[in-house]
Structure 1
Amino acid sequence: MSLLHRAAGLGLAALLAAAPPALAQQKTLRVAMTAADVPTTTGMPNNGFEGMRFLGYPVFEGLVLWDLSRADRPATLRPGLAESWEQDPADPKTWIFRLRGGVAFHDGTPFDADAVIWNLDRFFKPDSPQFEPAGAGTTRARNPILASYRKIDDRTVAISTNRVASYYPYMATYILMTSPRSFEAAGRDWGKVAALPAAGTGPFRLAKFTPRISAELARNEAYWDKTRIPKLDRVLLLPMPEANTRLAALRSGQVDWIEVPPPDAIPSLKAAGFNIVTNSYPHVWPWFFQTKGDTPFADLRTRQGLNYCVDREGLVQLLNGTAEPSLGWLKSSDPNFGKPEQRYGFDPAKGKALLAAAGWTAQKPLRFKVMISTSGSGQMLPLPMNEFLQQNLKEACGVDVSFEVTEWNTLLTAARSTPGAPVLNGSVSLNPSSPSSDPSVAARYFLQAFVPPNGFNWGQWNDPVFEEAFAALENARDEATFNAAYAKAHERLVDNPPWLYIVHDLNPRAMSRRVKGFVSAQSWFQDLVTVDLQ
């Protein structure tokens, strides 16, 4: 064990040893996250969707929530702080949300339309007293089409978008509500709100926050949905970015649950009685291509060729079966995958022919730099995976890849940058994983309207056929029209690839046999309410 691992283990041991006796006697689930730090605690966590998974939805809620109750289908939506919603019949760009009554924030503040407007101002009105730049940046990136909002009455608000968007309720899941009283109690200082901690409306409340060490959640006995009072007393969240550190903590009994166990340890964990949980879910682990400016990826043949050069099955073997090959943004089994002309597989001859047609040969090999992270939300095991790809592309197609290795939040910042930005340090490809859960995500990543800083189309990709199909999807009023347009749009994502499609994650986690009641939802997000400890 390295010095770093020992230090992490000793720090964790000291933390748990210092826990008060009452805490030790309670049902406390100890979770080792892949994040390098505790997600921020003001009510809009950083650290990507892992922050939302553990410090977002359990504590803070949106008007619309994810239904995480089933493992046999991709997660759908359910009413949250809004009991219902609909497009305004007179204006399809406007959505009417009817709010749930009888809901209070953890500090007792009533939830109503004024609280919704206050939170929307926090994210979307830079001159409001409560404007929070960090939270606003995250929320705006996930809601790039929000144009305006207004209170209709105490139980009703209207949100208008700058384009017709049949999928807008999916975007609404990413606007989390915090008590306005939290901000006032902290002297209108978001830095102090983080330490209060902030108050949400969720089934758990923030009980304790130790910067860079841990966050502790406690059961909210007064939760508005009495059928969803958590079984656990507490949840202790611990950042552990290094996979072997998480593994050692689980084996030694210091934690009960780890995200992304090392694949080579899975057989021995199973033999020792630990539960290994996996499930197919809408997530893709790619390399983004920068398609604008002085970049090799302006040529379609280069992008297609690389997609034929990747040994996806070999990478799945490296990961001990905890991933599946990716042939597009959606999984090939998805009914909206469509019927693209290209069907990527490991075909070095075809890949080299396409690269040669684009001008890349043994005498003039393709060389480029990819920005990667050491860990992070949904990043699986980025260092060994990228080393595999580096060797694979060199041996199969003569491609020379170098890496710019950085921290997860820096990579997220880079994904919102423009071509040639200093943060990229010469990188023309990025490796952040992505949800592929619904068209609202596709809009942010692929529509020309959402190049940075408006969204996550970092590669500046532009496909008129995709734009036309997506417009039909946005205006669809029935399921058949919606699905046909979605399939046509996805066909373009395959045939004119903005990304190098590599694998879809199977969302692996390892747990003590004491952990019961967990449902592995087909989602980035998971429900802690049903989890129990024996």
Structure 2
Amino acid sequence: MVTETLRISLEKVDFRQPTQVTDDTSVLTLKNWVFEPLLHWQSGGLVQKGLFDRWEHSANGCNWRFHIRGGAVFHDGEVCMSNHIIDFISAILDSRDTFGMRWNYHRYLAHTQITADDHWNITVASPEPIADILDIFTEFYICRVAADGKPVLGTGPYRVMEFDASEGRAVLEHASGTEQGRRPQRIIATAEPSAEKRLGQLRDGIVDVALNLERVEEELHFDPNFQWGRALNTLSIIYYLNCQEGMFTTANARLAINHAIDTAALARDVFHNLAVPSATVVSPFHLGAQEAALEPISYDVAKARQLLEGMDISVPIVLRTPTYMPERAEAITRFVVSSLEAVGLKVAVEVEVDRPAYARQVGLDKNIGDLALFDSSPHSTYRVLNDKISSETRAIWWQGYEDREVERFIEMANHAVEDGARQAAYRQVLERLRENPPWLYLVHPVQVFAARLDLEGFCLNCKGVLDIE
């Protein structure tokens, strides 16, 4: 059944300013309906056309040319042209993220020139191969600010008719009377921070669809009176390990604590089976991961103790944790502390309740104790390695990890141009990072939505975005 008006409950309703890139799945779902990314990221890490409908590159991968699709028009009638895209990118490069830190895009593109050939074609020129520009462009949802100051003008299938961030409400209307397919004519999106209340709204018939129901506190019961959708997410829940000082400067200690955690039990007991154990620094959907086909590091208490032999474990290690982001942060920490104590480690826990401050402490100050709970959200393998792993870039989330083989493989991946070469190079990086882990790998969460049984056409993708087909 196709409904004329779809009522949907999300954790938040916002579109964010054009300078704010986000991994929030509620915001991304709305952006996906109203705006278009320059390119669409696909499971497996490759890309398909978006606002750019075709592109070509030089043989060495240093020069790229992208073409804007025909008929791309903002919802106020203004034709989307090259200058809009260049202005959008320039604004991001000059801005800061929600934690007050400069976007890493500024660093990625520091030596790159992005210029307009004409109204419809954009050239990217770099002194080094830059095939990873494809990844970066999947994160740029082109929009303009409307006359009332709201960032709601896009070129996507829905236009924003009403939006009030303070009330957490938006009304979207299909932008075309034709080719609507199974999409509703109108979408009313309302914000409800509580997952329990979102589920209650669905049960009471107040909404037709409720998102992020994996966040209910207790185990989620899949009521047969509703249709359910779930998808493993690209997000990685991890502990950063201090590789600059302390016990985790040694590879054996890092490998030992990965053997010490029963991640399958963590997924079962803390996430109520709505998570899957991790095997490396990215999810199974990232570029190179399918080719690597890695298994999680085995839970092996005896092996963990063996690897710790000869190390001084008399002094407690310091574990830092926020109270949220990731979800269930304190329960995760309790599980991990118990597991580490079971292999003979002493653990002192430090809790930080101010999440933005925690991010700055971990990223800018490198104040992670010996290990710090965090999540890794980029769906680009390039970004994860550049921001968090590489000792060449030593970027904001790098915590002192060094491995010559990893750097060699990263350089190969950075210089690869064609899809197959990029997949093969990233596979080698990910395999090595399983052998010599920089982090404590935990799980990838499963996200869940529920909807009325009589509705159709919904699909939750691995980025956590609800698509309407």
Q: Please classify the TM superposition score into its range, dividing by the shorter chain length.
A: 0.7 to 0.9
1:445 matched to 2:388? The reply is yes
- Give the root-mean-square deviation of aligned CA atoms: 3.3
Aligned to 2:320: 370
CA distance in 2, matches of 1:139, 1:97: 26
Q: Give the C-alpha shift of residue 310 in structure 1.
A: 0.5
Q: How does 1:58-137 map to 2 (within 5 A)?
A: 58-66=33-41, 74=44, 76-89=46-59, 92-124=61-93, 126=94, 132-134=95-97
Aligned to 1:469: 409
Q: Secondary structure at the match of 2:37?
A: coil
Decide whether the 8 Å contact of 2:183 with 2:457 is kept in 1. Answer: no
Decide whether the 8 Å contact of 1:309 with 1:396 is kept in 2. Answer: yes
Decide whether the 8 Å contact of 1:228 with 1:529 is kept in 2. Answer: no
- CA 1:60/1:418 → structure 2, altered by over 3 Å: closer, same or farther? farther
- CA 1:405/1:174 → structure 2, altered by over 3 Å: closer, same or farther? same
Aligned to 2:117: 152
- CA 1:339/1:525 → structure 2, altered by over 3 Å: closer, same or farther? closer
Q: 1:277 aligns with which of 218, 229, 234?
A: 229
Letter in 2 for 1:167: D
Q: Deviations over 1:373-426 (max 9, x none)?
A: 424xxx343333333223333334434151424355555545542423xxx6x5
CA distance in 2, matches of 1:232, 1:384: 42
Aligned to 1:492: 432
- CA 1:336/1:283 → structure 2, altered by over 3 Å: closer, same or farther? farther
Q: Give the C-alpha shift of residue 372 in structure 1.
A: 2.5
Decide whether the 8 Å contact of 1:371 with 1:427 is kept in 2. Answer: no
Aligned to 2:155: 201
- CA 1:526/1:441 → structure 2, altered by over 3 Å: closer, same or farther? same
Q: Deviations over 1:43-97 (max 9, x none)?
A: 3556534255224332222321235xxxxx64742211111112234x6222211
1:41 matched to 2:4? The reply is no
Q: Give the C-alpha shift of residue 469 in structure 1.
A: 1.0
CA distance in 2, matches of 1:310, 1:164: 39
Q: Secondary structure at the match of 1:205?
A: strand
Aligned to 2:297: 344
Q: Give the C-alpha shift of residue 438 in structure 1.
A: 4.0
- CA 1:399/1:136 → structure 2, altered by over 3 Å: closer, same or farther? closer
Q: Give the C-alpha shift of residue 472 in structure 1.
A: 1.5
Decide whether the 8 Å contact of 1:250 with 1:258 is kept in 2. Answer: no
Q: 2:347 aligns with which of 375, 386, 400?
A: 400
Decide whether the 8 Å contact of 1:372 with 1:432 is kept in 2. Answer: no
Q: 1:234 aligns with which of 187, 203, 206?
A: 187
1:391 matched to 2:338? The reply is yes
CA distance in 1, matches of 2:38, 2:262: 42
Decide whether the 8 Å contact of 1:74 with 1:282 is kept in 2. Answer: no
Letter in 2 for 1:155: W
CA distance in 2, matches of 1:384, 1:250: 27
Under a length normalisation based on structure 2, what TM-score does the superposition of the two structures give? 0.85
Q: Structure 2: which 5+ runs fail to align?
A: none
Q: 1:50 aligns with which of 13, 19, 25?
A: 25
Letter in 2 for 1:48: D
Q: 1:311 aligns with which of 253, 258, 262?
A: 262
Q: Deviations over 1:172-200 (max 9, x none)?
A: 11122222x63xx35xxxxxx2xx35312
**Higher deviation after alignment, 303-312 or 113-122:** 113-122
Aligned to 2:138: 173
Query: Alignment identity in percent?
Result: 18
1:266 matched to 2:256? The reply is no
Letter in 1 for 2:58: D
1:216 matched to 2:170? The reply is yes
Letter in 2 for 1:317: R
Q: 2:364 aligns with which of 385, 401, 417?
A: 417
**Structure (1/2) with the larger helix percentage:** 1
Decide whether the 8 Å contact of 1:29 with 1:236 is kept in 2. Answer: yes
Q: Secondary structure at the match of 1:275?
A: strand
Letter in 1 for 2:29: F
Q: Give the C-alpha shift of residue 488 in structure 1.
A: 1.6
Aligned to 1:320: 272
CA distance in 2, matches of 1:135, 1:94: 32
CA distance in 2, matches of 1:393, 1:136: 31
CA distance in 2, matches of 1:415, 1:163: 30
CA distance in 2, matches of 1:121, 1:142: 10
CA distance in 1, matches of 2:390, 2:87: 30
- CA 1:74/1:468 → structure 2, altered by over 3 Å: closer, same or farther? closer
- CA 1:227/1:278 → structure 2, altered by over 3 Å: closer, same or farther? same
Decide whether the 8 Å contact of 1:445 with 1:458 is kept in 2. Answer: yes
Decide whether the 8 Å contact of 2:38 with 2:138 is kept in 1. Answer: yes
Q: Give the C-alpha shift of residue 330 in structure 1.
A: 4.3
CA distance in 2, matches of 1:26, 1:480: 43
CA distance in 2, matches of 1:165, 1:301: 35
Q: Secondary structure at the match of 1:507?
A: strand
Letter in 2 for 1:497: P
Decide whether the 8 Å contact of 2:128 with 2:415 is kept in 1. Answer: no
